[in-house]
Chain A
Amino acid sequence: MSRHRIVRTMDYNDEYDGYDDVYGHSVDDDHCISPTDAQQWLYDRERGRQSISAFISKNKDIKEEGEHDEDDEDEAYEKARRDSESFQMPELDEMEQAKLSSCVDEVRSVVGDAVSERRIVETSMKFDYDIQKILDEILNEETKKSDKPALRPKVPVPIAATIVKSASKPTPPAKISLKEPRRGFEIASPKLPSSPVVSGRNTPVDVGGDNDLSRTAASVFKVSKDQAQRNAQQLYEKERSDQKSHIHMIVIGHVDAGKSTLMGHLLYDTGNVSQRVMHKHEQESKKLGKQSFMYAWVLDETGEERARGITMDVGQSRIETKTKIVTLLDAPGHKDFIPNMISGATQADVALLVVDSTRGEFESGFELGGQTREHAILVRSLGVNQLGVVINKLDTVGWSQERFTEIVTKLKSFLKQAGFKESDVSFTPCSGLTGENLTKKAQEAALTSWYSGRPLLDVIENFKIPERALDRPLRMSVSDIYKGTGSGFCISGRVETGVMCVNDKVLVGASREQAQVKSLTMDEFPQTSVFAGDQISVTLAGVDINNITVGCIISDPQTPIPVTTRFQARIIVFSVKVPITMGFPVLLHHQSLIEPAVVCKLTASIHKSTGEVVKKKPRCLGSNSCALVELETSRPICIERYADFKELGRVMLRVAGVTIAAGMVTKIR
């Protein structure tokens, strides 16, 4: 009859009321039993019996079959693992017990969790609780262990000089005296900011401390064996040999030079934007009466940007050429958004300078105060040395060759001054709106009559791929934090040096919090490992979102990045309205980080080309001078010396919306 029941109007709550209670369980089952009750009433099979693990620990040398052919590194590792899992304290009288436990605590505070408890206890008993000796013994053992891989012939022939350095650099000799309490972890240091998630797991921030010391101290961070001895070059070849090489290109130029339009059109012509989307943009831009912006809308996505018709933040997209995957970074040209442009330029390998060839427009962008100049100088100071110059909107001057050569000669002399090599700079005439000379060779008769060079896409194709520092320790700069599609939050940025794999342990930012890599994505595709030069987003676990800020650096736990508030830099002062003196407040740009800083000391002014000290402690620094200065930030920041990490040793100083100086970090306090 159930067919005839009116199911639609049935009240399910009533029907199923009490359903749960009917089936067999008693009231008592809802409460869990307390341990004391359990002890009283339940039979514990394990009680009174000797645990098997205790038996094993006493006979620690039982050999298993088939272990002989393993190399001893693995064996030692296996043993350590087995030991730590099933270790029981030896039986001692009370006095000894107390001595032992205090001794273990002491040792733990120095070496951290890296050494098994069993090993500490054994050594302590061996040396009769003399902490000095125990530490020496344990740490020497550790050093030996970590030296081993370097000696093994398995390491391939080093490719660059850097690999020799990183592989054969011995761990500093382990000598510890108890007079150095700073070496260990001050775990409960209350001054440190820590997120609630991982409270108590922070390392001390070694502000202004001795770098070598902090490095050795932090190297006790536990990382998986895999992570510790990974071969970056091999991994890279394995993962990426079948792929096209990546390159990041930033598009710069004066406001309204047509950067976004040029890129939008290029994306459309290479088939990265569908016909349908383009049609939509065309219709919508028409509605607003700004049809010329239809290509720019491909990259300018926010409502504000579209309404105002200018780019505000760096837009990102990618195209594939025959041999390369190019990530396009479309920088804003407006003066007020130069901070955004800087953070984009720090991620770029090469740059495309777009110049408006319309009469008057080029001049206003190029004269003092125009962004053509400032952008070019900025990207050069940020380490970009290949530049493609695009002479845009040449259709507005009737593809005139005179205009082209006029602009080229002006730019050439300027770019030479800015420090670009002539061979690394190319000039291409084109029109972003009509799409002339973008992907295909020029068709326009007025242009072909005097121009027979390459179209823009070929220029991009011809950029050389810079050397990637795969063998250095991991450094990644954070440029954005956002909520991902899945759980947790995503951090996007660029891997400056080294390799990162899923499940790696990493240190985050100036607080040096430890986190684990949960997943890696590059251009929306999940990856298992990413390499220097990649633009990625990563999901981290074990760190609070509030403790990560844009601009902080993610680094390798074994060689963490130095953290400081005061450092010395060699700066080149651009043309400034007022001279730089002591106490000058500036904005420090370092990667994506913007931090207020103060020039706290003018150490010496230096001759620009020879590097000789011209004057010690100058009173002020005028335009176009070069000097050694000390900078102090209010908050600790992660920074590297230029000599160690080129990518992370560059800084920019800006005041009141003007870039006043570019510098390289020479010394970290």
Chain B
Amino acid sequence: MKLLGKYVDKGMQGNVTLMPEESEDMWHAYNLIAEGDSVRSTTIRKVQNETATGSSTSSRVRTTLTIAVETIDFDTQACVLRLKGRNIEENPYVKMGAYHTLDLELNRKFELRKPEWDTIALERIEMACDPTQSADVAAVVMQEGLAHVCLITASMTLVRSKIEVSIPRKRKGSVQQHEKGLAKFYEQVMQSILRHVNFDVVKCVLIASPGFVRDQFHDYMFQQAVKMDNKLLLDNKSKFMLVHASSGFKHSLKEVLQDPAVVAKMSDTKAAGEVKALEQFYMMLQCEPAKAFYGKKHVLRAAESQAIEMLLISDNLFRCQDVNLRKEYVTLVESVRDAGGEVKIFSSMHISGEQLAQLTGVAALLRFPMPELEDSDDDDDEDGAAGGDDSDSD
């Protein structure tokens, strides 16, 4: 993302001009734009003209529109952001108040005006414009008969394809069926890697599985590559890395990202950092349950007494439509920062973020034990549960 202009006054009002450069930037834009903001961007509008005689002609016109956003749609697979809203600026082609849907496009600037900018949003812009953050990794988690081909970017984990093949078990006298099924499965996984992994961008390809599936697959793939004389695979052989995972399901990516060899290679990407932070939280919950809390109510209480050392918060909480709720979370983040605590904003598109979102979306590691929080929840734990459910439904 490129920041082309930023005019935010002291009252935190103003506008920002941005230019998305890659598909990941759409995700950032999705997190930035909230309902009620106004967005100005160039777009194509179908205009109908009626002549004096009554015949009408329609033509497509490229024009610049400003709309007040009402609904936001994000397609995670295609990374397309669609904003629908009413026109609020005069335009020769479009009436005031007419609905229009803006498709944000790559390499076309848009201007975003918010009635109030908060720190989270400004931080998001900073992060999006940081070029060092981008580290693309492809990962294939597989087990016999099941594979997920994923792309891991700084703030998203995208499952590009899921391969499910039923492989006959070995049985007396007919091992061939098992081996044939296996070869078919490997072939499919290989094809899917070739189709979805762009070796120009991707730094490394992790192949993770239990047992020997990864080794078998790796051998199979390069045997085939030699046979078919596939230059693309042979040239990038060094990018493949074999890692252990306990299963072929998506959430075993977490184990993959914790593997020391992977951590070393990927340096400190956001995805790996998030997995580590969540792991830390769980370890604390096991060892010192009075120093680890989750749920909005508990965390807010802990923040009141300035006890939070590290706050884990999922970014889907900031995308909620309720402005007041969003504000509450923003103040929570700010108060933790003011008290010298660390805040980790998890991307809900990562595996660890998904898990955190299920865990009410907010969790905290404390500086000192607060057992009173745990005891207090018996009398009014209905509230806590309700708060958790709210965040789930977002």
- A residues within 8 Å of B by Cβ? 301-305, 308, 312-317, 334, 336-337, 339, 479-483, 492, 548-550, 576-579, 581-585, 587, 594, 596, 598, 600, 616-617, 619-620, 622, 654-658
Contacts and interface: CB of A to CB of B under 8 A. Distances in A.
A550 B168 CA distance: 10
Nearest to A594: B247
B169 interface: yes
B69 interface: no
A309 B354 CA distance: 39
A581 B166 contact: no
B285 A304 contact: no
Contacts of A481: 166, 168
Interface residues of B, number: 48
Contacts of A600: 358
Contacts of A301: 170, 172, 175
B7 interface: no
Interface in B348-394: 354-360, 374, 377-378, 381, 385, 388
A480 B251 contact: no
A617 B385 contact: yes
Contacts of A598: 358
B283 A334 contact: no
A585 B355 contact: yes
B373 to A, nearest CB: 10
21 contacts: A303-B175, A303-B179, A312-B211, A314-B169, A317-B172, A334-B211, A337-B211, A483-B177, A550-B145, A578-B282, A578-B283, A579-B286, A581-B282, A581-B294, A583-B357, A583-B358, A584-B358, A619-B374, A622-B289, A656-B252, A657-B210
B184 interface: no
Given A578-B282, A578-B283, A302 B358 contact: no
Interface in B275-296: 279, 282-283, 285-286, 289, 293-295
B171 A316 contact: yes
What are the 8 A-B residue pairs with the smallest beta carbon separation, nearest first?
A: A583-B358, A657-B246, A482-B168, A578-B282, A336-B210, A583-B359, A336-B211, A480-B169
A339 B360 contact: no
A316 B175 CA distance: 13
Interface in B74-110: none
A274 B289 CA distance: 61
B168 A302 contact: no
B285 A587 contact: no
A482 B285 contact: no
Tell me the dominant secondary structure on chain A's binding face.
mixed
Determine which residue in B216, B357, B358, B360 has the highest number of CB atoms from chain A within 10 A of its CB, and name it: B358
Interface in B137-181: 143, 145, 164, 166, 168-172, 174-175, 177-179
A579 B355 CA distance: 14
Given A303-B179, A334-B211, A578-B283, A313 B355 contact: no
A549 B283 CA distance: 37
Contact of A619 (B164, B282, B289): B289
A304 B385 CA distance: 51
A480 B171 contact: yes
A620 B360 contact: no
Contacts of B358: 582-585, 598, 600
B171 A482 contact: yes
Interface in B237-284: 246-247, 249-252, 254-255, 279, 282-283
Contact of B381 (A339, A617, A656, A657): A617
Contacts of A655: 246
A656 B256 CA distance: 10
A587 B171 CA distance: 26
A21 to B, nearest CB: 45
Contact of A479 (B143, B169, B254, B374): B169
Contacts of B293: 619
A191 B45 CA distance: 35
Nearest to A305: B170
A579 B282 contact: yes
B279 A578 contact: yes
Contacts of B357: 583
Nearest to A615: B378
Which of the listed residues B166, B279, B377 has the most CB atoms from chain A within 10 Å of its own CB?
Answer: B166
Max chain B Cβ within 10 angstroms of own Cβ: one of A303, A336, A576: A336
B211 A585 contact: no
A313 B213 CA distance: 13
B249 A587 contact: yes
A340 B254 CA distance: 22
Given A312-B212, A619-B377, 4 more contacts: A482-B171, A483-B177, A578-B282, A656-B254
A480 B144 CA distance: 13
B294 A483 contact: no
